[in-house]
Structure 1
Amino acid sequence: MTEENQPDDFEQSQNEWDAVAETRQWSSAATELNCFALARRKGKRLVKIINPKVEPFPIICIFEDYPK
């Protein structure tokens, strides 16, 4: 997915991230492309990719259900 065709509410961040405080569904992935594959497999919408630069989480993918 390129920047031109990403949804308006999609975010990409390098902020600090707290796994305990996160209330949305999330998964760890090796690459950003893996986030898109995980979302497709889970049937969820990918809303944010976070690169916390903290081991053992290389990339964090935040998901939500599709609107009904």
Structure 2
Amino acid sequence: MTEESKPDIKRSKGKFDPLTETRDWSAAASEERCRRLAKRKGKRLVEIIDTEDEPLPIICIFEDYPDE
């Protein structure tokens, strides 16, 4: 699947406050690493935040898959 076919992932830029974030999250070096983390965790990637902070500029936000 290409990035264009995944419109449900919200993308944003800016600061990230780990103390106020209640959802499951991880820092990563790239968006591709976020997708790999989501797959490994068995969760759905719902948001990618580009903080532009080194060495891990990307924050990945995860949610559980809805019960089907």
Runs of 4+ in 1 over 3 A off after TM superposition: none
1:18 corresponds to 2:17:
yes
- Structure 2: any 5+ residue segments left out of the alignment? none
Are residues 24 and 44 of structure 1, via their aligned partners in 2, closer, same or farther at CA, if it must alter by over 3 Å?
same
- Structure 1: any 5+ residue segments left out of the alignment? none
1:51 corresponds to 2:53:
no
Q: Match of 1:32?
A: 31
TM-score, normalised by the number of residues in structure 1: 0.86
Larger mean CA deviation between 28-37 and 49-58 belongs to: 49-58
TM-score, normalised by the number of residues in structure 2: 0.86
RMSD: 1.4
Give 1:7 deviation, angstroms. Answer: 3.9
